[in-house]
Structure 1
Amino acid sequence: MSALICGSIAFDTLMSFEGRFADEILPDHVHRLNVSFLVPNLDRQFGGCAGNIAYSLNLLGGEGYAMGTVGKDFHPYQDWLDQHGISRKYVKEIEDTYCAQAYITSDADGNQFTAFHPGAMNHAHEQHVPTDDSIDLGVIAPDGKDGMVQHAKQFADAGIDFIFDPGQGLPMFDGDELKTAIDQAAYVSVNEYEAQVIGEKTGLSVAEIAARVKAFIITSGADGATIHVGGRTINVPAATPASVNDPTGCGDAFRAGLIVGLQEGYDWEITGRMATLMGTIKVEHDGTQNHALTRDEFRARFEREFERKVA
């Protein structure tokens, strides 16, 4: 059985400014801002939520496909996916567009300027959820809004359980649209801040959202996660990182652990820990697809961290 992960496939261009933005921007001239920053350090990473989740899912031996739209500059990413044995069956190239791109400049204080170009991601709605390939679980991750809405409906119409994970796409949805997506979904997975935003937009409490789905999962970074399921609350601890290098993409790695736990039929105590461990492993590495391990290594670390066994 396979998971279909609908979401962005993007390049992340990361740049470091060794000074402080605050020292370069004059407060009384922000209405005529024209500044330039020397960025001696630049790194280009493979990213996007669908790509990131598929990458971590593949590490765990999970079955699944990334589904997304890409542009004419996709070829290096294509080679990367091929190198790691990640299927491109549902990756569609849109002519005369570029892949989605995030350009992020950070200063010495950790402040960031980010420019995001959606590019081919705006064509996500041109893809359709397949009813073959034994798809038994879906993921709606941040993508073009029309694509997210359409794919959620297609999963629901096909009777395929899916995880609604709006993430950075959350601001695009109003309260009624979020209620519709929640009612269509089997699972909702968000971080603490996103859970608060959903509550404010929909007027629904955590308990009311949990009552509409099979499980409502809220991540809390270093504090682990909380799973609201069947009228009870399960507090899932995080694993202890060997180092904290880069939190970018931790939520996507978490989702991969969640998918594998669901596919393999583990209870929520185990599934939640599989998810938090994958998030911890990711935070130990820079970038979103630079962590690597075998399932045997994952199993051994799981048992060390939680004193429980997993296959």
Structure 2
Amino acid sequence: MDQKISVVGHTSVDYLFNVEKIAGPNESYPVIDYNEYYGGGAANVAAGIAKIGGNSQLISPVGPDFLGSDYESHLLKLGVDLSLIYIIEGEKNTSAFVYTDKEHNQCTYFHWGASFKFPELVPPNVNFVHLATADPIFNSKIAKITPFVSFDPGQDLVLYSKKDLRSILENTNILFTNRHEIKRVCEILEVDITHIKNLVDILIITYDSKGSTIYNKNIEYKIPAIDVCAVDPTGAGDAYRAGFLVAYQKGYPLDKCGKVGSTVASFAVESVGCQTSLPTWAQMVERFQLHYEPINE
């Protein structure tokens, strides 16, 4: 079996509301409909890895309400190793509440719940870790003791100090960002992108529907996106990371790793919810070869 990929970060239940209008202070508007989905950056990546046949493990603080829940059952059925989750007594599981009106204006509230305890936790010893959106202090601790580190600061980048960010990047092998995040990384560290390329082994920048670019020192790979009917782009980045990391661990060249990531992401955006339509490896291969080249060429 492939080496286990341990994924650090949030395990969240996402509540998505369609509303007449985003309410201001002291206002009330009808909820048209709402649904509950499995989410949290770390859980999304771990689920994606497991679904396409990889070996994933989740390192995440959860509330006692997670135990015995449908979410726990879902992850176990996928084959995600939950032996390193932290049960935080007295805290609710992490939740996101997203409100979208008819004009597609959006308002989001994120309850960290059990994730508030991240800074107090002692990181485990693992061999291959992917740091998803999570606490900078915990991420910094585990990056220092893990032989291979993949890092995705994501929307939590605003929480990182210059010291914490540099500490993690100095121990990072693969850095995932989008075009906005790489700019912010450079601003926090007060460096240019060339410095980042030299600091990590592999830098990946995603550009939504325009694909992604992979930098490996002086080599650059442009990865085109697969054009599909996108319903919800929310989980695309996490799906891309899951696909890339599994392909990387299987020994594929970096350009094919990017194409596998792009292919897995193309499935994720076809339905609402980050984990709703993740593919198996066979499904990924079929679409990959339809849009790119034979995967084992």
Query: What secondary structure, in the 3-state scheme, does the structure 2 residue paired with 1:53 have?
Result: helix
The answer to whether the Cα contact below 8 Å between 2:182 and 2:205 also exists between their aligned partners in 1 is yes
Q: Provide structure 1 residue ranges, at least 5 long, that are not aligned to the other structure.
A: 26-32
Name 2:247's counterpart in structure 1. Answer: 261
Query: What secondary structure, in the 3-state scheme, does the structure 2 residue paired with 1:40 have?
Result: strand
Q: Higher Cα Rg: structure 1 or 2?
A: 1
Alignment of 1:76-225 (within 5 A): 76-125=70-119, 126-131=121-126, 135=127, 137-155=128-146, 160-225=147-212
Farther-moved stretch of structure 1 (102-111 vs 81-90): 81-90
The answer to whether the Cα contact below 8 Å between 2:140 and 2:167 also exists between their aligned partners in 1 is no
Tell me: CA distance 1:85–1:16, structure 2 relative to 1, closer, same or farther (3 Å). Answer: same
Structure 2 length normalisation: TM-score?
0.94
Tell me: CA distance 1:228–1:97, structure 2 relative to 1, closer, same or farther (3 Å). Answer: same
Q: Deviations over 1:6-53 (max 9, x none)?
A: 1111111110113x43xx65xxxxxxx212221121111111111100
Write the distance in 1 (CA, Å) between the matches of 2:112 and 2:88.
12
Write the distance in 1 (CA, Å) between the matches of 2:122 and 2:72.
18
Query: What secondary structure, in the 3-state scheme, does the structure 2 residue paired with 1:184 have?
Result: coil
By how many angstroms is 1:129 displaced?
A: 2.5
Structure 1 length normalisation: TM-score?
0.90
Write the distance in 1 (CA, Å) between the matches of 2:138 and 2:6.
14
The answer to whether the Cα contact below 8 Å between 2:186 and 2:192 also exists between their aligned partners in 1 is yes
Q: Deviations over 1:206-240 (max 9, x none)?
A: 11101111111101110110111121221111112
Query: What secondary structure, in the 3-state scheme, does the structure 2 residue paired with 1:73 have?
Result: helix
Name 2:35's counterpart in structure 1. Answer: 43
Q: Provide structure 2 residue ranges, at least 5 long, that are not aligned to the other structure.
A: none
What is the total number of aligned residue pairs between the two structures?
292
Q: Aligned Cα RMSD in Å?
A: 1.6
% identity of equivalent residues = 27
Which stretches of structure 1, 4 residues or longer, exceed 4 Å deviation after superposition?
Answer: none
Write the distance in 2 (CA, Å) between the matches of 1:51 and 1:15.
21
The answer to whether the Cα contact below 8 Å between 2:239 and 2:278 also exists between their aligned partners in 1 is no
The answer to whether the Cα contact below 8 Å between 1:123 and 1:144 also exists between their aligned partners in 2 is no
Write the distance in 2 (CA, Å) between the matches of 1:94 and 1:237.
42
Please tell me the residue identity of whatever aligns with 1:76. D
Name 1:29's counterpart in structure 2. Answer: none
Q: Deviations over 1:163-202 (max 9, x none)?
A: 1111011000122322221111111101110011111111
The answer to whether the Cα contact below 8 Å between 2:178 and 2:206 also exists between their aligned partners in 1 is yes
Please tell me the residue identity of whatever aligns with 1:248. T
User: Which of 6, 11, 14 does residue 12 from structure 1 map onto?
Assistant: 14
